[in-house]
Structure 1
Amino acid sequence: MEEEEKEVDLLPPGDVFLLAGQSNMAGRGGVAHRRWDGVVPIECRPRPQILRFSAQSRWTLAEEPIHADIDAAKTCGVGPAMPFASALLSASPRPIGLVPCAVGGTAIADWAKGKKLYERMVGRAREALQWGAELKALLWFQGESDASSRESASAYGSNMEKLVSDLRSDLGLPSLPVIQIRDADGTVFSPPDEKIVSSGGKDEFWDEKIVRLEVSGGIWMGNPWIHIRRWQFARGKGSGWRR
Protein backbone atom coordinates (compact mmCIF):
# COMPACT_ATOMS: atom_id res chain seq x y z
CA MET A 1 0.00 0.00 0.00
CA GLU A 2 1.29 3.46 -0.79
CA GLU A 3 2.21 5.74 2.10
CA GLU A 4 -0.67 8.08 1.28
CA GLU A 5 -4.00 6.29 1.18
CA LYS A 6 -6.15 6.87 -1.86
CA GLU A 7 -9.27 8.74 -0.85
CA VAL A 8 -12.26 7.69 -2.91
CA ASP A 9 -14.87 10.06 -4.24
CA LEU A 10 -17.58 7.43 -3.96
CA LEU A 11 -20.59 6.77 -1.81
CA PRO A 12 -19.83 4.83 1.39
CA PRO A 13 -20.24 1.05 1.09
CA GLY A 14 -23.61 -0.58 1.52
CA ASP A 15 -22.35 -3.90 2.91
CA VAL A 16 -19.66 -3.95 5.58
CA PHE A 17 -17.56 -6.92 6.75
CA LEU A 18 -15.44 -7.07 9.89
CA LEU A 19 -12.08 -8.83 9.46
CA ALA A 20 -10.60 -10.30 12.63
CA GLY A 21 -8.26 -13.02 13.83
CA GLN A 22 -4.51 -13.47 13.59
CA SER A 23 -1.77 -13.56 10.95
CA ASN A 24 -3.53 -15.40 8.12
CA MET A 25 -6.41 -12.92 8.29
CA ALA A 26 -4.01 -9.99 8.51
CA GLY A 27 -2.28 -11.40 5.42
CA ARG A 28 1.11 -13.03 5.06
CA GLY A 29 0.95 -13.96 1.39
CA GLY A 30 4.18 -13.01 -0.33
CA VAL A 31 5.98 -12.29 2.94
CA ALA A 32 9.39 -13.82 3.56
CA HIS A 33 12.13 -12.71 5.93
CA ARG A 34 9.93 -9.80 7.06
CA ARG A 35 9.60 -8.42 3.54
CA TRP A 36 6.58 -8.43 1.23
CA ASP A 37 7.35 -9.15 -2.41
CA GLY A 38 4.67 -6.71 -3.60
CA VAL A 39 3.00 -9.26 -5.89
CA VAL A 40 -0.77 -8.75 -6.02
CA PRO A 41 -2.76 -11.62 -7.63
CA ILE A 42 -5.52 -10.60 -10.00
CA GLU A 43 -8.26 -11.52 -7.51
CA CYS A 44 -6.66 -9.19 -4.95
CA ARG A 45 -6.31 -6.12 -7.16
CA PRO A 46 -8.18 -2.90 -6.31
CA ARG A 47 -11.72 -2.44 -7.54
CA PRO A 48 -13.71 0.80 -7.13
CA GLN A 49 -16.58 -1.10 -5.46
CA ILE A 50 -14.34 -2.37 -2.62
CA LEU A 51 -13.42 0.08 0.12
CA ARG A 52 -11.33 -0.20 3.25
CA PHE A 53 -11.83 1.45 6.64
CA SER A 54 -8.39 2.78 7.54
CA ALA A 55 -6.79 3.10 10.96
CA GLN A 56 -7.67 6.79 10.71
CA SER A 57 -11.37 5.85 10.36
CA ARG A 58 -11.68 6.90 6.72
CA TRP A 59 -13.10 4.98 3.80
CA THR A 60 -10.39 4.56 1.17
CA LEU A 61 -9.86 2.39 -1.88
CA ALA A 62 -9.04 -1.13 -0.66
CA GLU A 63 -5.53 -2.22 -1.62
CA GLU A 64 -3.16 -4.90 -0.40
CA PRO A 65 -1.89 -5.17 2.24
CA ILE A 66 -5.32 -4.57 3.77
CA HIS A 67 -3.99 -4.73 7.36
CA ALA A 68 -0.82 -2.70 6.89
CA ASP A 69 -1.83 0.04 9.34
CA ILE A 70 -3.70 -2.28 11.72
CA ASP A 71 -1.21 -5.12 12.25
CA ALA A 72 1.47 -2.46 12.04
CA ALA A 73 4.11 -4.22 14.15
CA LYS A 74 4.32 -7.06 11.62
CA THR A 75 4.96 -7.25 7.88
CA CYS A 76 1.65 -7.73 6.10
CA GLY A 77 1.07 -9.14 2.64
CA VAL A 78 -1.84 -10.61 0.73
CA GLY A 79 -4.75 -11.93 2.80
CA PRO A 80 -8.23 -13.39 2.26
CA ALA A 81 -10.26 -10.17 2.36
CA MET A 82 -9.82 -8.99 -1.23
CA PRO A 83 -10.54 -12.32 -2.99
CA PHE A 84 -13.52 -12.75 -0.66
CA ALA A 85 -14.89 -9.31 -1.54
CA SER A 86 -14.20 -9.82 -5.25
CA ALA A 87 -16.14 -13.08 -5.18
CA LEU A 88 -19.09 -11.32 -3.54
CA LEU A 89 -19.18 -8.70 -6.28
CA SER A 90 -19.93 -11.43 -8.78
CA ALA A 91 -23.24 -11.94 -6.97
CA SER A 92 -24.11 -8.28 -6.42
CA PRO A 93 -22.57 -4.97 -7.49
CA ARG A 94 -23.42 -3.36 -4.15
CA PRO A 95 -20.24 -1.61 -2.81
CA ILE A 96 -18.37 -3.52 -0.11
CA GLY A 97 -16.59 -2.10 2.90
CA LEU A 98 -13.82 -4.02 4.67
CA VAL A 99 -12.99 -3.19 8.29
CA PRO A 100 -9.60 -4.75 9.14
CA CYS A 101 -8.99 -5.60 12.82
CA ALA A 102 -6.73 -8.70 12.77
CA VAL A 103 -3.39 -8.88 14.57
CA GLY A 104 -0.83 -11.64 14.03
CA GLY A 105 0.16 -14.01 16.80
CA THR A 106 -2.95 -13.46 18.90
CA ALA A 107 -4.87 -16.14 20.79
CA ILE A 108 -8.63 -16.21 21.12
CA ALA A 109 -8.25 -15.06 24.75
CA ASP A 110 -6.83 -11.80 23.38
CA TRP A 111 -10.17 -11.21 21.67
CA ALA A 112 -12.31 -11.61 24.79
CA LYS A 113 -14.68 -8.81 25.79
CA GLY A 114 -12.82 -6.16 27.75
CA LYS A 115 -9.51 -6.84 26.01
CA LYS A 116 -7.96 -4.19 23.75
CA LEU A 117 -8.49 -6.08 20.49
CA TYR A 118 -12.15 -6.79 21.18
CA GLU A 119 -12.93 -3.23 22.22
CA ARG A 120 -11.11 -1.81 19.20
CA MET A 121 -13.02 -4.18 16.89
CA VAL A 122 -16.38 -3.11 18.34
CA GLY A 123 -15.40 0.56 18.18
CA ARG A 124 -14.28 0.33 14.55
CA ALA A 125 -17.47 -1.50 13.61
CA ARG A 126 -19.60 1.26 15.13
CA GLU A 127 -17.59 3.97 13.39
CA ALA A 128 -17.81 2.21 10.03
CA LEU A 129 -21.60 2.02 10.25
CA GLN A 130 -22.13 5.74 10.87
CA TRP A 131 -22.84 6.33 7.18
CA GLY A 132 -25.83 4.01 7.16
CA ALA A 133 -24.12 0.84 5.92
CA GLU A 134 -25.17 -2.64 7.05
CA LEU A 135 -22.80 -4.96 8.88
CA LYS A 136 -23.22 -8.21 6.97
CA ALA A 137 -20.83 -10.55 8.80
CA LEU A 138 -17.66 -11.09 10.79
CA LEU A 139 -14.97 -12.82 8.72
CA TRP A 140 -12.84 -14.73 11.25
CA PHE A 141 -9.57 -16.62 10.75
CA GLN A 142 -7.84 -17.50 14.00
CA GLY A 143 -6.80 -20.54 16.01
CA GLU A 144 -3.19 -21.30 15.17
CA SER A 145 -2.03 -19.84 18.49
CA ASP A 146 -4.57 -21.97 20.35
CA ALA A 147 -3.34 -25.20 18.76
CA SER A 148 -0.15 -25.15 20.85
CA SER A 149 -1.68 -27.15 23.71
CA ARG A 150 -4.57 -29.53 24.17
CA GLU A 151 -5.91 -27.40 27.01
CA SER A 152 -6.21 -24.23 24.92
CA ALA A 153 -7.52 -26.22 21.96
CA SER A 154 -10.21 -27.88 24.06
CA ALA A 155 -11.41 -24.50 25.34
CA TYR A 156 -11.61 -23.00 21.88
CA GLY A 157 -15.25 -23.85 21.19
CA SER A 158 -16.60 -22.24 24.36
CA ASN A 159 -14.34 -19.21 23.92
CA MET A 160 -15.57 -18.76 20.37
CA GLU A 161 -19.19 -19.05 21.45
CA LYS A 162 -18.63 -16.35 24.08
CA LEU A 163 -16.90 -14.06 21.60
CA VAL A 164 -19.73 -14.36 19.09
CA SER A 165 -22.39 -13.84 21.78
CA ASP A 166 -20.65 -10.75 23.17
CA LEU A 167 -20.09 -9.22 19.74
CA ARG A 168 -23.70 -9.69 18.69
CA SER A 169 -24.91 -8.22 21.98
CA ASP A 170 -22.61 -5.20 21.95
CA LEU A 171 -23.43 -4.35 18.33
CA GLY A 172 -27.15 -4.96 18.81
CA LEU A 173 -27.16 -7.56 16.03
CA PRO A 174 -28.39 -10.84 17.55
CA SER A 175 -28.28 -12.66 14.21
CA LEU A 176 -24.95 -11.33 12.94
CA PRO A 177 -23.45 -14.06 10.75
CA VAL A 178 -19.92 -15.26 11.47
CA ILE A 179 -17.87 -16.68 8.61
CA GLN A 180 -15.12 -18.86 10.06
CA ILE A 181 -12.28 -19.69 7.67
CA ARG A 182 -10.42 -22.97 7.77
CA ASP A 183 -8.10 -24.73 5.37
CA ALA A 184 -9.74 -27.24 3.06
CA ASP A 185 -7.12 -29.94 3.53
CA GLY A 186 -6.98 -29.59 7.32
CA THR A 187 -3.35 -28.50 7.58
CA VAL A 188 -3.85 -25.09 9.18
CA PHE A 189 -3.75 -26.47 12.71
CA SER A 190 -0.98 -28.74 13.89
CA PRO A 191 -1.79 -32.26 15.14
CA PRO A 192 -2.93 -33.51 17.58
CA ASP A 193 -5.21 -30.52 18.19
CA GLU A 194 -6.25 -29.64 14.63
CA LYS A 195 -9.67 -31.29 14.86
CA ILE A 196 -10.42 -29.82 18.27
CA VAL A 197 -9.51 -26.25 17.31
CA SER A 198 -11.15 -26.26 13.91
CA SER A 199 -14.48 -27.57 15.19
CA GLY A 200 -14.46 -26.33 18.77
CA GLY A 201 -14.51 -29.92 19.98
CA LYS A 202 -17.89 -30.54 18.37
CA ASP A 203 -18.88 -32.44 15.26
CA GLU A 204 -20.95 -29.56 13.88
CA PHE A 205 -21.15 -25.83 14.42
CA TRP A 206 -23.05 -24.72 17.49
CA ASP A 207 -24.88 -21.93 15.66
CA GLU A 208 -26.55 -21.93 12.26
CA LYS A 209 -25.30 -18.36 11.75
CA ILE A 210 -21.67 -19.50 11.89
CA VAL A 211 -20.60 -20.55 8.43
CA ARG A 212 -17.42 -22.49 7.69
CA LEU A 213 -15.65 -21.10 4.65
CA GLU A 214 -12.92 -23.40 3.41
CA VAL A 215 -9.91 -22.20 1.44
CA SER A 216 -7.24 -23.92 -0.57
CA GLY A 217 -3.90 -22.62 -1.68
CA GLY A 218 -0.18 -22.73 -1.14
CA ILE A 219 0.84 -23.40 2.46
CA TRP A 220 4.06 -22.14 3.94
CA MET A 221 4.97 -24.07 7.09
CA GLY A 222 7.36 -22.06 9.22
CA ASN A 223 7.95 -23.17 12.79
CA PRO A 224 5.71 -22.66 14.69
CA TRP A 225 3.25 -20.98 12.31
CA ILE A 226 1.53 -22.02 9.12
CA HIS A 227 0.84 -19.22 6.65
CA ILE A 228 -1.27 -19.27 3.51
CA ARG A 229 0.51 -17.73 0.55
CA ARG A 230 -2.38 -17.59 -1.92
CA TRP A 231 -6.12 -17.78 -1.57
CA GLN A 232 -8.85 -19.74 -3.28
CA PHE A 233 -12.19 -20.11 -1.53
CA ALA A 234 -13.35 -23.67 -1.96
CA ARG A 235 -16.76 -24.04 -0.35
CA GLY A 236 -18.91 -23.01 2.56
CA LYS A 237 -20.55 -25.14 5.23
CA GLY A 238 -23.38 -23.83 7.35
CA SER A 239 -26.55 -21.89 6.74
CA GLY A 240 -28.30 -18.66 7.44
CA TRP A 241 -26.22 -16.21 5.40
CA ARG A 242 -26.56 -14.97 1.88
CA ARG A 243 -25.46 -11.64 0.52
Structure 2
Amino acid sequence: MNILLIAGQSNAVGTSRTGPLKGYEFSNVSLYQAGEFTGGNQALQNVWLRGIRPNMGYTPEHSGIELGICSALRGAEPYGIIRYAYGTTDLIRNWQAESLWKKVPASMEDSGYCFLQWKNTFLRAVHSLQTPFIVRGLVFMQGESDAYDRDGALRYAENLRSLMRDMRRFIGNESLPVLIGEIATPVSEYAPFADIVREGQREFCRGDKNAVFVPSKDLRLQDGWHYIMQDAIELGERFGREVKNLFEKP
Protein backbone atom coordinates (compact mmCIF):
# COMPACT_ATOMS: atom_id res chain seq x y z
CA MET A 1 0.00 0.00 0.00
CA ASN A 2 1.20 3.51 -0.79
CA ILE A 3 1.43 5.70 2.31
CA LEU A 4 1.52 9.49 2.45
CA LEU A 5 2.64 11.27 5.62
CA ILE A 6 1.18 14.63 6.70
CA ALA A 7 2.75 16.64 9.51
CA GLY A 8 2.86 20.20 10.79
CA GLN A 9 0.70 22.63 12.73
CA SER A 10 -2.91 23.80 12.49
CA ASN A 11 -3.23 23.95 8.70
CA ALA A 12 -2.08 20.32 8.63
CA VAL A 13 -4.61 19.42 11.35
CA GLY A 14 -7.45 20.94 9.32
CA THR A 15 -8.82 24.17 10.79
CA SER A 16 -10.94 25.50 7.95
CA ARG A 17 -14.64 25.85 8.77
CA THR A 18 -16.22 23.32 6.46
CA GLY A 19 -19.69 24.75 5.79
CA PRO A 20 -21.77 23.21 3.00
CA LEU A 21 -19.50 20.88 1.02
CA LYS A 22 -20.42 18.05 -1.32
CA GLY A 23 -18.41 15.61 -3.39
CA TYR A 24 -15.46 15.22 -1.05
CA GLU A 25 -15.94 11.72 0.29
CA PHE A 26 -13.23 9.16 -0.42
CA SER A 27 -14.33 5.73 0.73
CA ASN A 28 -11.25 3.82 -0.42
CA VAL A 29 -8.63 5.92 1.39
CA SER A 30 -7.49 4.96 4.89
CA LEU A 31 -6.49 7.52 7.54
CA TYR A 32 -4.56 7.19 10.78
CA GLN A 33 -4.15 10.42 12.71
CA ALA A 34 -3.15 11.89 16.06
CA GLY A 35 -2.48 15.34 17.45
CA GLU A 36 -4.82 18.27 18.08
CA PHE A 37 -8.20 16.73 17.27
CA THR A 38 -10.84 17.87 19.73
CA GLY A 39 -14.51 17.52 20.58
CA GLY A 40 -16.08 14.56 18.86
CA ASN A 41 -12.99 14.13 16.69
CA GLN A 42 -10.93 12.90 19.63
CA ALA A 43 -12.40 9.50 18.80
CA LEU A 44 -10.86 9.69 15.32
CA GLN A 45 -7.32 9.35 16.70
CA ASN A 46 -4.98 6.38 16.98
CA VAL A 47 -7.09 4.02 14.90
CA TRP A 48 -7.19 3.28 11.18
CA LEU A 49 -10.27 4.89 9.66
CA ARG A 50 -11.69 3.61 6.38
CA GLY A 51 -12.69 6.58 4.29
CA ILE A 52 -11.93 10.30 4.36
CA ARG A 53 -14.77 12.83 4.38
CA PRO A 54 -15.34 16.43 5.47
CA ASN A 55 -15.21 17.35 9.17
CA MET A 56 -12.37 15.04 10.21
CA GLY A 57 -10.12 17.94 11.26
CA TYR A 58 -9.65 20.00 14.42
CA THR A 59 -13.33 19.66 15.40
CA PRO A 60 -16.36 18.03 13.73
CA GLU A 61 -16.91 21.40 12.02
CA HIS A 62 -13.43 21.68 10.47
CA SER A 63 -11.61 20.15 7.51
CA GLY A 64 -8.31 20.73 5.77
CA ILE A 65 -5.85 19.94 3.02
CA GLU A 66 -6.61 16.21 3.20
CA LEU A 67 -9.75 16.78 1.10
CA GLY A 68 -7.83 18.46 -1.70
CA ILE A 69 -5.08 15.86 -1.60
CA CYS A 70 -7.62 13.06 -1.97
CA SER A 71 -9.41 14.95 -4.74
CA ALA A 72 -6.19 15.23 -6.76
CA LEU A 73 -5.46 11.54 -6.15
CA ARG A 74 -8.77 10.20 -7.49
CA GLY A 75 -7.98 6.95 -9.26
CA ALA A 76 -4.88 6.23 -7.17
CA GLU A 77 -6.80 4.37 -4.47
CA PRO A 78 -6.36 2.42 -2.33
CA TYR A 79 -3.73 4.22 -0.26
CA GLY A 80 -3.27 5.40 3.29
CA ILE A 81 -2.50 8.70 5.02
CA ILE A 82 -0.72 8.91 8.37
CA ARG A 83 -1.08 12.35 9.95
CA TYR A 84 0.34 13.86 13.10
CA ALA A 85 -0.19 17.60 13.47
CA TYR A 86 -0.69 20.05 16.32
CA GLY A 87 -1.69 23.70 16.21
CA THR A 88 0.48 26.61 17.40
CA THR A 89 3.67 24.54 17.30
CA ASP A 90 6.98 25.87 16.08
CA LEU A 91 10.03 24.37 14.43
CA ILE A 92 12.60 25.90 16.74
CA ARG A 93 11.23 24.11 19.82
CA ASN A 94 8.21 21.82 19.42
CA TRP A 95 9.43 20.16 16.20
CA GLN A 96 13.12 20.23 17.08
CA ALA A 97 15.02 17.46 15.29
CA GLU A 98 15.97 14.48 17.43
CA SER A 99 19.68 14.92 16.68
CA LEU A 100 19.51 18.26 18.54
CA TRP A 101 17.78 17.00 21.70
CA LYS A 102 19.52 17.43 25.05
CA LYS A 103 17.01 15.04 26.66
CA VAL A 104 14.07 12.90 25.63
CA PRO A 105 10.99 15.18 25.67
CA ALA A 106 8.30 14.26 28.18
CA SER A 107 5.69 16.97 27.50
CA MET A 108 4.79 19.72 25.06
CA GLU A 109 6.96 22.06 27.13
CA ASP A 110 10.06 20.08 26.12
CA SER A 111 11.93 20.65 22.87
CA GLY A 112 11.22 18.00 20.27
CA TYR A 113 7.96 16.72 21.73
CA CYS A 114 6.07 16.97 18.43
CA PHE A 115 8.83 15.10 16.62
CA LEU A 116 8.63 12.34 19.22
CA GLN A 117 4.84 12.12 18.91
CA TRP A 118 5.12 12.08 15.12
CA LYS A 119 7.44 9.08 15.39
CA ASN A 120 5.15 7.31 17.85
CA THR A 121 2.10 7.93 15.65
CA PHE A 122 3.89 6.40 12.67
CA LEU A 123 4.98 3.37 14.67
CA ARG A 124 1.46 2.75 16.00
CA ALA A 125 0.00 3.15 12.54
CA VAL A 126 2.30 0.75 10.72
CA HIS A 127 2.18 -1.79 13.56
CA SER A 128 -1.58 -2.07 13.13
CA LEU A 129 -1.61 -1.81 9.33
CA GLN A 130 -0.98 -5.52 8.73
CA THR A 131 -0.19 -5.10 5.05
CA PRO A 132 3.01 -4.34 3.10
CA PHE A 133 3.48 -0.62 2.56
CA ILE A 134 5.83 1.95 1.07
CA VAL A 135 6.08 5.54 2.30
CA ARG A 136 5.98 7.67 -0.85
CA GLY A 137 6.39 11.14 0.60
CA LEU A 138 5.81 13.67 3.36
CA VAL A 139 3.59 16.76 3.24
CA PHE A 140 4.85 19.31 5.79
CA MET A 141 2.58 22.30 6.42
CA GLN A 142 4.11 24.43 9.18
CA GLY A 143 5.84 27.71 9.86
CA GLU A 144 3.23 30.20 11.04
CA SER A 145 4.33 29.91 14.67
CA ASP A 146 7.98 30.60 13.78
CA ALA A 147 6.85 33.89 12.24
CA TYR A 148 6.33 35.19 15.81
CA ASP A 149 9.99 34.88 16.74
CA ARG A 150 12.95 36.49 14.99
CA ASP A 151 15.41 33.77 15.95
CA GLY A 152 13.03 31.01 14.88
CA ALA A 153 12.43 32.75 11.56
CA LEU A 154 16.11 33.41 10.84
CA ARG A 155 16.99 29.80 11.62
CA TYR A 156 14.00 28.30 9.83
CA ALA A 157 15.88 26.86 6.85
CA GLU A 158 18.56 25.41 9.11
CA ASN A 159 16.00 23.88 11.47
CA LEU A 160 13.97 22.50 8.57
CA ARG A 161 17.07 20.82 7.11
CA SER A 162 17.77 19.15 10.46
CA LEU A 163 14.16 18.01 10.88
CA MET A 164 13.79 16.60 7.37
CA ARG A 165 17.13 14.79 7.68
CA ASP A 166 16.04 13.14 10.93
CA MET A 167 12.55 12.31 9.63
CA ARG A 168 14.01 10.67 6.55
CA ARG A 169 16.45 8.64 8.63
CA PHE A 170 13.65 7.49 10.88
CA ILE A 171 11.54 6.37 7.91
CA GLY A 172 14.61 4.65 6.46
CA ASN A 173 14.80 6.62 3.21
CA GLU A 174 17.41 9.37 2.98
CA SER A 175 15.84 10.48 -0.33
CA LEU A 176 12.21 10.55 0.84
CA PRO A 177 10.39 13.25 -1.15
CA VAL A 178 9.10 16.09 1.02
CA LEU A 179 6.55 18.71 0.01
CA ILE A 180 6.90 21.99 1.90
CA GLY A 181 3.77 24.13 2.04
CA GLU A 182 4.36 27.88 1.93
CA ILE A 183 2.73 29.77 4.77
CA ALA A 184 0.21 32.41 3.66
CA THR A 185 0.16 34.40 6.91
CA PRO A 186 0.76 38.10 6.13
CA VAL A 187 3.36 40.18 7.94
CA SER A 188 1.70 41.80 10.96
CA GLU A 189 2.38 42.63 14.58
CA TYR A 190 1.46 39.01 15.33
CA ALA A 191 3.68 37.55 12.60
CA PRO A 192 6.37 40.16 11.96
CA PHE A 193 8.81 37.63 10.49
CA ALA A 194 6.47 35.78 8.12
CA ASP A 195 8.44 36.78 5.04
CA ILE A 196 11.65 35.48 6.62
CA VAL A 197 9.98 32.11 7.26
CA ARG A 198 8.76 31.97 3.66
CA GLU A 199 12.27 32.65 2.41
CA GLY A 200 13.56 29.92 4.74
CA GLN A 201 11.09 27.48 3.20
CA ARG A 202 12.21 28.41 -0.31
CA GLU A 203 15.89 28.24 0.68
CA PHE A 204 15.48 24.72 2.02
CA CYS A 205 13.71 23.55 -1.14
CA ARG A 206 16.32 25.14 -3.41
CA GLY A 207 19.05 23.19 -1.62
CA ASP A 208 17.29 19.81 -1.44
CA LYS A 209 16.83 17.88 -4.68
CA ASN A 210 14.06 15.79 -3.11
CA ALA A 211 12.04 18.73 -1.79
CA VAL A 212 9.21 20.57 -3.54
CA PHE A 213 8.01 24.06 -2.58
CA VAL A 214 4.21 24.26 -2.74
CA PRO A 215 3.06 27.91 -2.94
CA SER A 216 0.05 29.22 -1.02
CA LYS A 217 0.58 32.96 -0.48
CA ASP A 218 -2.07 33.69 -3.13
CA LEU A 219 -4.74 31.79 -1.18
CA ARG A 220 -7.34 33.37 1.08
CA LEU A 221 -7.39 33.13 4.87
CA GLN A 222 -10.42 33.12 7.15
CA ASP A 223 -8.65 34.75 10.10
CA GLY A 224 -5.10 35.69 9.12
CA TRP A 225 -3.76 32.18 9.79
CA HIS A 226 -6.09 29.50 8.46
CA TYR A 227 -7.37 29.05 4.92
CA ILE A 228 -10.99 29.39 3.93
CA MET A 229 -12.36 25.95 3.06
CA GLN A 230 -12.28 26.43 -0.71
CA ASP A 231 -8.64 27.48 -0.63
CA ALA A 232 -7.59 24.76 1.84
CA ILE A 233 -8.90 22.35 -0.78
CA GLU A 234 -6.96 24.18 -3.48
CA LEU A 235 -3.78 23.93 -1.41
CA GLY A 236 -4.44 20.23 -0.88
CA GLU A 237 -4.87 19.77 -4.61
CA ARG A 238 -1.50 21.46 -5.18
CA PHE A 239 0.07 18.99 -2.79
CA GLY A 240 -1.91 16.14 -4.33
CA ARG A 241 -0.72 16.82 -7.88
CA GLU A 242 2.86 16.45 -6.66
CA VAL A 243 1.99 13.34 -4.66
CA LYS A 244 0.35 11.73 -7.69
CA ASN A 245 3.69 11.74 -9.46
CA LEU A 246 5.23 9.94 -6.47
CA PHE A 247 2.47 7.32 -6.37
CA GLU A 248 3.02 6.52 -10.04
CA LYS A 249 6.67 5.57 -9.52
CA PRO A 250 7.42 1.83 -9.47
Fold conserved between structures, TM > 0.5: yes
**Shift in Å, 1:75:** 7.5
State the 1:136 CA deviation. 1.2
Give the residue type in structure 2 aligned to 1:206. G
User: Is residue 7 of structure 2 the alignment partner of residue 20 of structure 1?
Assistant: yes
Count residues with an aligned counterpart: 208
Aligned match of 2:157: 157
TM-superposed deviation, 1:159 = 0.6
For 2:219 and 2:2, how far apart are their aligned partners in 1? 27
User: How far, CA to CA, are the matches of 2:138 and 2:54 in structure 1?
Assistant: 19
C-alpha separation in 2, matches of 1:88 and 1:150:
38
Q: Distance in 1 between the 2:138 and 2:222 partners? A: 25
Question: Is the 1:189–1:197 Cα contact (8 Å) retained in structure 2?
Answer: no
Contact 2:30 2:79 in 1 (8 A): yes
Q: Which amino acid aligns with 2:83?
A: P
Report if aligned partners of 1:67, 1:101 keep a CA contact under 8 Å in 2: no
Deviations along 1:87-129, one digit per CA (max 9) or x if unpaired, are: 022xx42312111211011111201225332122122223433
Alignment of 1:1-243 (within 5 A): 14-30=1-17, 39=19, 41-42=21-22, 45-54=24-33, 55-68=45-58, 77-89=62-74, 92-108=75-91, 109-112=93-96, 113=98, 114=104, 115-130=112-127, 131-182=131-182, 187-190=184-187, 192-200=192-200, 203=203, 205-215=206-216, 216-222=218-224, 226-230=225-229, 231=232, 232-233=234-235, 242-243=246-247
Instruction: From the superposition, tell whether residues 172 and 141 of structure 1 become closer, same or farther in structure 2 (CA, over 3 Å).
Output: same
Q: Do the aligned partners of 2:187 and 2:195 also contact (CA within 8 Å) in 1?
A: no
Q: Aligned Cα RMSD in Å?
A: 2.8
Where does structure 2 lack aligned partners over 5 or more consecutive residues?
A: 34-44, 99-103, 105-111
Deviations 1:128-182 (A, max 9, x none): 3352121111111111110013221001111100000001111211111111112
CA 1:40–1:51: 2 relative to 1, 3 Å: farther
Alignment CA distance shift 1:141-1:135 (3 Å): same
Distance 2:20 2:46 in 1: 24
TM-score, length basis structure 2 = 0.72
Provide the identity percentage: 22
Deviations 1:21-65 (A, max 9, x none): 1111111111xxxxxxx525346x221222211423324322333
The amino acid across from 1:22 in the alignment is Q
State the AA in 1 paired with 2:228: R
Structure whose residues are more often helix by fraction: 2
Q: Distance in 1 between matches of 2:55 and 2:171?
A: 27
Code of the residue aligned with 2:29 in structure 1: it is I
Superposed displacement of residue 201, structure 1:
7.3
Write the distance in 1 (CA, Å) between the matches of 2:26 and 2:141.
Answer: 23
Structure 1 alignment gaps of length 5 or more = 1-13, 31-37, 69-73
Tell me the TM-score normalised to structure 1 length. 0.74
SS, match of residue 67 in structure 2: helix
Q: Quick check: which one's strand share is greater?
A: 1
Amino acid aligned to 1:121: W
**Alpha-carbon distance in 1 for matches of 2:146, 2:83:** 21
